Structures are given as C-alpha cells and as structure tokens.
Structure 1
Amino acid sequence: MDHTWVRELSAGSPEDGVTSLGTRHRASSVIGENATAWAVTAGRRMADYILETLVDWPGDHSDGEAEALRRATEASTLDTLTALVAGDRNVLAQSAEPLQNVSYYVRHGIPLDEVVRNVHAGQEFLTQELLGCVEALVPEESRMRVVKEMTRVVIESWSLFARNISVQYADEYERWSRSRDGVTARLIRRIINGVRVDRAEAARELGHELDQSHAGLVLWLAGVDVDSARAFDFGAVAREIAAVSLSGHHPLVVMRGFSQADVWLGSPDAAVADRLRDHGAWPSPLRIAVGRPGSGLPGFRSTYQEAKAAQHVARLSRTRNAVTAYEDVRLVSLLAADAERAGAFVRSVLGPLTAQDERTVELRRTLAAHIDANGSIALTSRALHTHRNTVTYRLRRIDQLLGEKRNNTELRCALELAACLPSAVLAPPHP
C-alpha cells in the first residue's frame, strides 16, 4: 500500500535531534525533511512516555540514560516511518542506534525483560500517534484500509525489532560479562552502592589503589552524534587530565556508552577543577564534571556522586564551559535534584520575575544582590557597580511586582536557580 501520507507529517515546533546525522539523512531520503522533523519530535515524546509509564523502571533515571533512550526512540520512529514508505518490515530490526542501547542496558545491569517492556511501551505510543495522524491526513473513504495496513506493518516491524533486541542482548551480555571492562564496571557498581568489598582484592582487580585520595570526574560530549562520539578517545583525555591534575597514577576509566566516561584520579592536587580550567585546551564538545577529592572507599563513592550531581547541573544549564565543579554548584544541585519541581518552585516564588528579557534579568540580579547585602542599598550598588538611584528604582519596581512581604530565603534560592539554570526553570513545562 502507498503510505504517501507519511510525507505529509510535519512538526509544529521542530527540535534538534540526538540521533546521528547518518540516521536522519537516510530517513529523510525516503520520507522527506518534514516527516523527519516530526519523527524527531515524536521520538522525544515517546521517550517521555516510556519514562512516565514504566514507573518501576530499574535504571538510574540519569541524564545519560534519558539521552540514550531518546536516541533510540528517535531512531525507531524514523525507521518505522521509513518501513511504512519503503514497504520493508526489516528496516527497524536492522537499525543500529536502538541496538546500541542494548550495550548501554547490559553495562548498567538492566534486565532483558525490562528492555523488552520498554520496546512494547514505545510501540504502543507510536501506534497511537500514527492512528491520530492517519485520521487527520487520510480521506475518510480510505482511512480504514490505511489503518489496517499501517497497524500490520508497525506490529510486524516492532515484533522483528523485539526479537532482534533479545538476540543482541544475549550476545552482548555474554561478551560483556566475560570482558575486563565488565568485571571492572560490576565491581565499581558494588562499591558505589555501598556493598562491602575486600579492599586489597578490589584494588588488584581495578588496578587502582583504594586507600588513597580520589577525585571523581564524569566526561561527556555535548552536541556530538554517535558516529563522532565513537571516534573520541576518552582514555587519552583521561590521561591528560591526570597529568594536568598532578595525579601520579594511571586514571581509572569506565566507559558509559559511546559519549561518556567515568574517571577516578588517584592522589591528585586538591584544586583539580582549577587546574583543568587553567589548562584550557580541551576539545570544544568535551564537558568535565568534577567532584571534590575524598579519601578511601567513602571518598571514592562521594567524589563520584558529586561529579554526577555537577554533571546534572551542567546538562540542565546547557553550559558551554568545559569544567563544572561540584563545589561551585552544590546548592543548585540540591535545589535542582528534581528539575520539574524546581521549575515549579521558581515560577511560584518569582511570578512575574520569571520573564527572560534583559530588564527582568537585571531585576533578578538586583534583588539577589540586595538580599546578599542584608538590605543595604549602598552595598547593593557597590556589588552591582550601579548608581544607587538605579538600584532604588529597580527595588521599587520589584516591590510593585512581588509585593513587599516575601520570604527572602525562598527568594534567594529561586533567584540562584534562575541565574544558573534559566532554560530549565524559567520556561513553562512541556504540555
């Protein structure tokens, strides 16, 4: 059947995709640019649907996991549309990017039945989306016939896909469980989760002394597609970081998919983040989150957890800075642990001060400085390098917008979130 209606799909607000350019170009050559943009947007919604539906999902719900899921849902949506237009049910089963997620799930200990449940939730979402599109785009006299054929192609394509996922998972699990990287990752997971281990034996397995000080880091690539990420040498970068940080030991590196690595430095200089910033020669897409150095097994755990928290803030802020240190963002990391609730809090506390125009940004900055100056206009003026009359005018305007009775503690927290994470907490949530 001719599914030309697919080419009529169009995204109302196109988004940047996280699938590789190769995947998008291949799909676009069959279904067109507009349908490709629709698939990218629908893929993001599919990822959100899966995370909301599978409330007992055993993953860690980290930013990296969400990005890996979105990459797979975008690709599977693109490949499903390609299958409809090309009439080839094998397109999805042979798709590279969703299958690459299998490696991610194996490495993070997600069981196969949970992965398959993930696939079924994705199929359910996409079927409903496409049914709505058929109703909107296909003439009524042809609609029932198109719905039957579309449903059959989707079911067959996703059944082949699920079968191939299962085979790939078994093969990857066997390979990973026997590999050196697999042994290392499982041992580190036990340490991070607080499971008791024999320190001497663990140190031999890891090639990393545990009774020393550690600095945990998370390295990842921002805005880089999978094809480019595969070529990036995280090991070489980790060794350069160790040298810059005056760590006299070979860094412990654990890959988390193609675009992220967890790193531990042994006995580094205390000012790791400052040294990395001063170095200043890192590749432009590289981002580095740094935990505070800590000693022994507790330090091994805490510095990594801090690096993960710093990474979360860096991702939310969409920073272009190469280095984010936990000690610089620890308050924001606590306030933004739940980004959705943090946004609701900011919008509730700041109200009309959540606008993102330049004048409102100045008002927020002035209010924050005034709270920090304990209400002194002179100190506020000095901190902002602004005439006191201007500060007084802004404060009057703030009083008009917020009222004079307010909780300065909540206000200061909301202002800090707005300053550090404007794109995450000021904009209204997705419908």
Structure 2
Amino acid sequence: MDDLVSRTAAALTGEMEGLADHLVTRMLHEIPELDGDPALAALLRVSVEDNIRIAMQRFSAGERQPQEPPASALEYARRLAQRGVPVSALLRAYRLGQAECQQLMIEAFARDTDDPAAIVAATVEFSAATFAYIDGISEHVVQAHQDERRRWLQSRSAALAAQVTTVLAGDALEVGQAERLLGYELGQRHLGLVGWSDPGPGALDRLGREVRRVAGDLGCLRDPLVVPADATTVWAWLPVPRGGDARAVTAASPDVRLAVGEPGTGLDGFRATHRQALAARAVALGADERASTPVTTYADAGLVALLRTDVGDLAAWVHGVLGGLATDDDQHARLRDTVRVLLAHQGSHTAAAAELSLHRNTVLYRQRRAEEARGRPLDDGRLDVEVALLACHLLGRRVLC
C-alpha cells in the first residue's frame, strides 16, 4: 500500500474518538431510521469506532484484503433487525462513513505533502482500499441482519410485538379490536414500564421475571402484558389496582433497569403510560453514571422528559398539572397570568399586585379561584405548576384544553 496512505492512517488512529463522534452525529441526523433510541445510538457509536480502528490499523499496516467485521457491528445489525429497521438504512450508514473518512484522508494527504501526483496516487489507493473494506464488511452485516430478522419474525414474541405496535400506532382502532389483538383487557388501570438489561444469554427471561415480580409487589391481580422490544429491552403494562403507585416500583436485580409511566385507563391510557415510560427511559439513558438509578419514574423525570417530547405530550402534562386551570378561555387566562406572576415573586401578593397594577385583594381572590380550578393548592407540586404556567404563557392554545 502507498506509504502516504499508511502513514496518514497511522496518524489518524489517535483521532478515532472525535471522528467516531462526528460520524455518529451525522448518521443520526441524516438517517432517521437510526435515531430515536439512546441505547441503539450508543451501540452504533461502539460499532463505528471499532470499524474505524480496524480499518485504519489495516491500512497503516499496508493490508487491503477485507476481514470479518467487529462483533459490535454484527450486534448492531442484529439489533436493527429486531427493531424492524431496514437493512438499507444500515448500508447507507456505511456509505456515509466511507465518504466522510475518504474526505478526511484526502485533506490529511494535502497537509502531508504538496506533491499533486502523490496526493492523487494516495487518493486512488485509499479509495480502492476503503471500497474493498466496506464491500467485505457489508456482506457480513447484511447477512447478520437478514438472518436475525428472519429468526425474530418467526418467534411468537415478535408476533405479539407487531400487534402491540399496531395498537400503539393505530388511531382508528376501537377498544374491542385492540383487546382482541393483544389478548389484554384495556378497560382496567394499567402502568406502563420499560425494562432493559445488558446484552447476554437470558436477558429477556431476567427482564420478564423482574416485571412479574414488580406486578406482584404492586398487588396486580392479573398477569402483566410483557413484550420484547429487542434482545435487551421489554415493554410492559401492569394491571395495577387503585392505589398502585409508580413510586412504589423497585428493581431487585442489579443488572436490570426500569422506567415507569403514570397509571392510565383505557386505550388512551395504555398509549399514554407507554409514552411516558419511554420518555423516562430516555432521561435515564441520558444521565451520567453517578446520577443513574435502578428505577426512573415519569413522575420524577417528567420535567426533563418534556425537553425530549412533542407538544401533544406537553399539553397532556400541562393539563395533568393544572387541571381546570388549563382551560382555554379569557377568565382562566387571567387567573393563570396572575398566579404565574405571584409565584415568580415567591408568593408575595403585594409585589405581584404592583407588577400587574392590581389591588392586593384582587390577587388574593384570583389565587383562590385558580386553586379552585386546579383542585388543589398552588404549593402542591409548585415547581411543576410554575413550569406548566410558563408553558401556557409561551405556547398558549397549543397546550390548553
């Protein structure tokens, strides 16, 4: 292999982490099918770095023949297959990575020498080498994806997962039709849960046992609905009795983590509690190791989760916090603005009255009316109240009811 190629590849080996971060960011931005799950994004990051390291080591050693892909690349391909992500998205990621690395190397060649002939020769050599590497690797990861997809679709769990996906996405479904698909009663009160574990033999079995243990702890009288999302993740719905609280959920197994929504009833509640559990999981996966906990509830993580969600979910949360105070009319708008200013002044009626050009007694009266509309005092969950009022102030009817 060309000396310039070998020398440059060896020099760039020390820049792998930065290059991998750049590539992953671009892949997630340009290939929507790969984005959406922090755990999958983390696995993509490992696969990209492993591929770069192996490729650069081979190029620096003057080797061109393709080899077996890294284990992380095969695992990522299998995980995408389990999630139903098409193989075309995976191949596009490899092509994008090839193009980015090639551009980086050409720029490095130009910094190394001002000899045009040497740059052209090195570029031709590197292009051929990267094509051979990607071509060889692609064959293996495509095969891994296809084999896993075939196996996954043949499993009973995959059939149930497909039915759950239909129920979660099918706005036109009736409750009876959804219940027949799931074999699960939707009229009851359910608590959404997402459980995940490190990869390894028996991961889904461990997660299933953990979900059933939690269901027992919460006093569930019927079996939970447990659906594998992939080889390391389950989605679950627990038929919790009245009084069953997400904050009572604990994780007994040290290698299992849980994210929990708020209880909901009916088909809408089935969907909402699942969305909340997914949002709580996203917060848990985004936390550093020191802040991570075995169980993350939407009740605790809701404020942070809102930064990752859409306006529809935000509106539902605002209504849950403010109750009738989130009503979309002029009367309740005046009440919201008054108590928003009151809370901003740490509950000082005098200061709020001065800012609003109102009499102090008017502020007191509106506070009482706001608490009546909400159904509880403003100090009950005060931080949530302040954020919800701010959302109403900034977004208006988009979050009102």
Structure 1 residue 191: Cα displacement: 0.9
Q: In structure 2, which of residues 74, 96, 108 is the aligned counterpart of residue 121 of structure 1?
A: 96
CA contact (8 A) 2:223 2:239 kept: yes
Cα contact 1:251–1:266 (8 A) shared by 2: yes
2:144 is aligned, of 168, 190, 193, to: 168
Cα distance change, pair 212–373 in 1 and its aligned pair in 2 (3 A): same
How far apart, in 2, do the equivalents of 1:257 and 1:139 lie? 49
Residue 20 of structure 1 corresponds to: none
Q: Quote the offset at 1:144 in angstroms.
A: 4.1
Q: Is 1:8 the counterpart of 2:11 in the alignment?
A: yes
Match for residue 323 of structure 1?
Answer: 295
Which residue identity does 2:53 align to in structure 1? L
Q: Deviations over 1:56-104 (max 9, x none)?
A: x34662323433432332232223223323525433x532222222222
1:76 matches 2:78: no
Distance 2:251 2:46 in 1: 30
2:219 and 2:244 in contact (8 A); partners too: no
Q: How does 1:288-367 map to 2 (within 5 A)?
A: 288-318=258-288, 319-337=291-309
CA distance in 2, matches of 1:245, 1:325: 15
TM-score, normalization by structure 1: 0.63
Match of 1:62 in 2: 37
Whichever residue aligns with residue 233 of structure 1, its letter is R
2:163 counterpart (172, 178, 187)? 187
- Taking a change above 3 Å as real, the CA distance of residues 164 and 317 of structure 1, as seen in their structure-2 partners, is closer
**Where in structure 2 are the equivalents of 1:147-296 lying within 5 Å?**
147-194=123-170, 196=173, 198-204=177-183, 208-221=184-197, 233-267=206-240, 270-276=243-249, 279=250, 281-283=252-254, 286-296=256-266
Q: Distance in 2 between matches of 1:88 and 1:376?
A: 76
Q: How far apart, CA to CA, are the structure 2 residues paired with 1:230 and 1:150? A: 42
Q: Does the 8 Å contact 1:229/1:259 carry over to 2?
A: no
Instruction: Say if 2:261 and 2:273, in contact at 8 Å, map to a contact too.
Output: yes
What's the offset of the Cα at 1:220?
A: 3.2
Name 2:336's counterpart in structure 1: none
The 1:280/1:202 distance shift into structure 2, 3 A limit, reads: closer
Are 2:83 and 2:230, in contact at CA under 8 Å, matched by a contact in 1?
A: no
Give per-residue Cα distances to partners, 1:226-266, cap 9 Å, x unaligned: 56996993223223322322223444333344443322223
Aligned partner letter, 1:105: L
Q: CA 1:270–1:324 in structure 2 vs 1: closer, same or farther (change >3 Å)?
A: farther
Partner Cα separation in structure 1 for residue 121 and residue 91 of structure 2: 29
Structure-2 change in CA distance of 1:227 and 1:180 (3 Å):
closer
3-state SS of the aligned residue for 2:137? helix
Kept in 2: contact 1:40–1:78 (CA 8 A): no
Distance 2:246 2:72 in 1: 34
Specify every segment of 5 or more residues in structure 1 that has no aligned partner in the other structure, as ranges.
10-30, 339-367, 378-408, 418-431
Distance across 2 between alignment mates of 1:200 and 1:370: 45
Distance across 2 between alignment mates of 1:230 and 1:254:
13
Out of 47, 55, 59, which is 2:24 matched to?
A: 47
Deviations 1:198-227 (A, max 9, x none): 3453234xxx44443221112235xx6x56
Mapped partners of 1:373, 1:245: distance in 2? 38
Contact 2:34 2:89 in 1 (8 A): no
Mapped to 2, the partners of 1:189 and 1:235 lie a distance apart of 19
Please say if residues 273 and 325 of structure 1, whose CA atoms lie closer than 8 Å, have aligned partners that are also in contact.
yes
TM-score normalized by the length of structure 2:
0.67
Cα distance in 1, alignment partners of residues 138 and 232 from structure 2: 25
Q: Is the 8 A contact 2:215 2:240 kept in 1?
A: no
CA contact (8 A) 1:290 1:324 kept: yes
- State the distance in 2 between where 1:336 and 1:163 align: 36
Q: Is contact 1:134–1:143 with CA below 8 Å preserved after alignment?
A: yes
